[in-house]
């Protein structure tokens, strides 16, 4: 049995995985000081009780990871920490692998996809924009373990907002929850709208689904930026499918359809046929993908 | 011994390759009707004379190729043609592989590189702009055999020139020989210059090397577009190194230095350290890379 671990800022989700299915789960609170010990102890006790044999452990981590070495997890507060020794202390015979959480989610979505998909890019639209790349069924961490950081690709020369990374016009300044609220505020007086002045990204997206003019306008700007970004990423790496995940993707079909429409406008003629899909398994993708890093 | 074949619009270059070295060569005229037969007959006769045993054949082709099937070679005039049967007719026991010529060149440059480079992107700046991707020592053709078509990534929103592909603002509209001449003509009256009014890209680049104001300006615009493009590609795929090849790269250090400088300005902080190098083995890269597709 494989263990897929998805480390988040408030909880760690653990999946017990057999033949590409999550057959059992645990949730462990994220405590900076004892995070991996806590996970190991709970899993060990639970596996003993259930008579689960753990052959290997894959971990998706919210930050920069090189092999099994955590460089930095900004939202957790862990730096320069190798997870292999602690897992192998509790599970001496288990393989231990790690990657960035966006990469793990990309692989998870690919494994859960019906089609014969081998290569995929996943874009996670949350507070920021993350990305993960799977090539021929293997996660690509990249030569500097930075593969997938497409939230910081330059794509918006119209608003050219300053990004938290210091650059301007990054995809993340538009296609994240933060970007959506900023856009709605900037254009608030330009449209009739039922959206309240202090809004969340969800308010804007919900309004768009009900044809609110401001909501629709913002969704259009977001889809435009994503269509442009995907048209560029696809030229660079040519995958079968793009998965759109994260909170913003809850906007659903209206978002996916608009992204696809802008993609077709911006894409070179040779790459028009790529598939753009909403991520399907959501919060489970990180666990499932992490469990198939090897 | 491996055979590396680089098919061009006027000649086919054939390399006899042993242990990553081109030990012998043949050049065959590109005749649309009998191209692969001509190559096979000449190679077979020559190999017999020299007592070379050919174990495998790799072919780099200037167009869209799926496996060993040519979809279209626009400059040669061949469509929908599988090269495997003809090579295997003359060399029944040889493996036969094919890829796009830009991909073959990318692998060739990587193999000729001193460093322990595993993954690389090559940009070929000629009449147009081509690209090739090597990941972990293997060429990536891509899910639709379009990987590397980065000449058509949107990067220039200032001039936003129409590209031959039908889109606007493609990298190729700026960073190709064609783009260089167009830029020099557009800005001709804005600078003092010794460049003659009917110029080639080489004239512009040569003038830049001699500090001609118009030449330097054009080189700067070209380097800016390439720096921007590389900063985006690197986020998407995270390779060790970018090789800059093709006729435009003969501008040399002045171009590479300017690209690197713009790259560092546009790149997200996590990816600043990628290496940008001038392609080293030029016309041999296609043969060498083609011979190591397997």
Residue of B nearest to A116 (CA): B143
Does A271 map to a domain?
A: yes
Distances B207 to B21, B183, B184, B212 between C-alpha atoms, Å: 36, 14, 11, 5
Q: Which pLDDT does position A151 carry in this prediction?
A: 96
Q: Which pLDDT does position B84 carry in this prediction?
A: 98
Tell me phi and psi for residue A250, to 5 degrees: -65, -15
Q: Which pLDDT does position B116 carry in this prediction?
A: 85
Cα separation of B229 and B153, whole Å? Answer: 8
N-terminal to C-terminal alpha carbon distance within chain B: 13
Handedness of CA A145, A148, A152, A153 (dihedral sign): positive
State whether A161 and A274 are in the same domain: yes
Residues of chain A with pLDDT under 70: none
Cα separation of B234 and A188, whole Å? Answer: 36
Q: Strand order in B138-139's β-sheet?
A: B138-139, B129-135, B120-125, B241-245, B275-278
Does A188 map to a domain?
A: yes
Number of other residues whose CB lies within 10 A of the CB of residue A23: 12
Cα separation of A130 and A171, whole Å? Answer: 10
State whether A147 and A194 are in the same domain: yes
Q: Which pLDDT does position A74 carry in this prediction?
A: 87
Of B263, B246, B279, B287, the closest CA to residue B110 belongs to B279
Q: Which pLDDT does position B19 carry in this prediction?
A: 95
- Cβ separation A235–B152 shorter than 8 A: yes
Which of A119, A145, A237 should one mutate to test binding to chain B, selecting the residue with the greatest count of B CBs within 10 A? A237
A266 contacts on B by Cβ (under 8 Å): 154, 167
Does B38 map to a domain?
A: yes
Cα separation of B181 and A217, whole Å? Answer: 40
Note down the domain range covering A101: 2-106+284-290
- Cβ separation A236–B118 shorter than 8 A: no
Residue B114 has pLDDT above 90, yes or no: no
Q: CB contacts < 8 Å between A and B, how many?
A: 133
Flag whether the pTM goes above 0.90: yes
The answer to whether residues A139 and B136 touch, using CB atoms and an 8 Å cutoff, is no
Does B111 map to a domain?
A: no
Q: Is B146 exposed, middle or buried (0-12, 13-18, 19+ CB in 10 A)?
A: buried
State whether A137 and A229 are in the same domain: yes
Q: Which pLDDT does position A115 carry in this prediction?
A: 73
Element (H, E) at A278: strand A275-278
Does B8 map to a domain?
A: yes
Residue B259 has pLDDT above 80, yes or no: yes
Please, which residues have CB within 8 angstroms of residue B19's CB and are 6 or more apart in sequence? Answer: none
Locate B198 and state its tokens.
């009917």
State whether A210 and A142 are in the same domain: yes
Q: Summarize pLDDT for B184-223 with one digit per residue, the tens.
A: 999 999 999 999 999 999 999 999 999 999 999 999 999 9
Element (H, E) at B108: helix B101-112
Q: Which pLDDT does position A191 carry in this prediction?
A: 97
State whether B124 and B79 are in the same domain: no
More confident residue, A109 or B75: A109
Between CA B49 and CA B54, with CA B50 as vertex, the angle to 5 degrees is: 105
Q: Which pLDDT does position A114 carry in this prediction?
A: 78
State whether B67 and B93 are in the same domain: yes
Does A112 map to a domain?
A: no
Does A111 map to a domain?
A: no
State whether A73 and A137 are in the same domain: no
Read off the CATH number of the domain in which A224 is found.
Answer: 3.30.420.40
State whether A161 and A77 are in the same domain: no
Residue B44 has pLDDT above 90, yes or no: yes
Average pLDDT over residues B43-69: 96
Considering its fold, how many domains does chain A have in total?
Answer: 2
Which of A66, A151, A154, A242 should one mutate to test binding to chain B, selecting the residue with the greatest count of B CBs within 10 A? A154
State whether A124 and A263 are in the same domain: yes
Give the closest of B144, B166, B233 to A271, CB-based.
B144
Locate B88 and state its tokens.
């295997």
Q: What ipTM was estimated for this complex?
A: 0.94
Please, which residues have CB within 8 angstroms of residue B111's CB and are 6 or more apart in sequence? Answer: B20, B288, B289, B292
Residue B115 has pLDDT above 80, yes or no: no
Number of other residues whose CB lies within 10 A of the CB of residue A10: 9
State whether B161 and B33 are in the same domain: no
Does A124 map to a domain?
A: yes
State whether A155 and A239 are in the same domain: yes
- Cβ separation A153–B232 shorter than 8 A: yes
Mean residue pLDDT across chain B: 96
- Cβ separation A153–B269 shorter than 8 A: no
């Amino acid at each position: 049995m494989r263990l897929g671990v998805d480390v988040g800022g408030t909880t760690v989700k653990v999946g017990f995985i057999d033949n590409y299915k999550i057959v059992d789960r645990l949730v462990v609170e994220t405590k900076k000081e004892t995070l991996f010990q806590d996970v190991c102890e709970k899993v060990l006790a639970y596996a003993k009780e259930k008579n689960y044999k753990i052959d290997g452990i894959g971990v998706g981590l919210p930050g920069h990871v090189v092999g099994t070495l955590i460089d930095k997890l900004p939202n957790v507060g862990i730096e320069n920490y190798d997870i292999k020794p602690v897992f192998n202390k509790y599970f001496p015979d288990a393989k231990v692998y790690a990657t960035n959480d966006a990469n793990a989610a990309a692989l998870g979505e690919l494994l859960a996809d019906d089609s014969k998909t081998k290569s995929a890019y996943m874009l996670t639209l949350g507070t920021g924009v993350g990305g993960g790349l799977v090539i021929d069924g293997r996660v690509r961490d990249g030569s500097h373990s930075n593969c997938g950081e497409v939230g910081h690709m330059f794509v918006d020369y119209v608003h050219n907002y300053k990004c938290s990374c210091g650059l301007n016009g990054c995809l993340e300044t538009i296609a994240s929850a933060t970007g959506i609220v900023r856009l709605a505020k900037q254009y608030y007086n330009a449209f009739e709208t039922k959206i309240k002045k202090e809004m969340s990204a969800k308010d804007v997206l919900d309004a768009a689904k009900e044809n609110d003019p401001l909501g629709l306008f913002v969704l259009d700007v977001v889809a435009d930026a994503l269509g442009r970004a995907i048209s560029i990423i696809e030229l660079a790496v040519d995958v079968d499918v793009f998965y759109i995940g994260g909170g913003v993707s809850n906007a659903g079909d209206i978002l996916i359809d608009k992204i696809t429409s802008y993609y077709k406008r911006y894409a070179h003629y040779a790459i028009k046929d790529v598939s753009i899909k909403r991520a399907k398994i959501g919060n489970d993708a990180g666990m499932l993908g992490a469990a198939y890093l090897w």
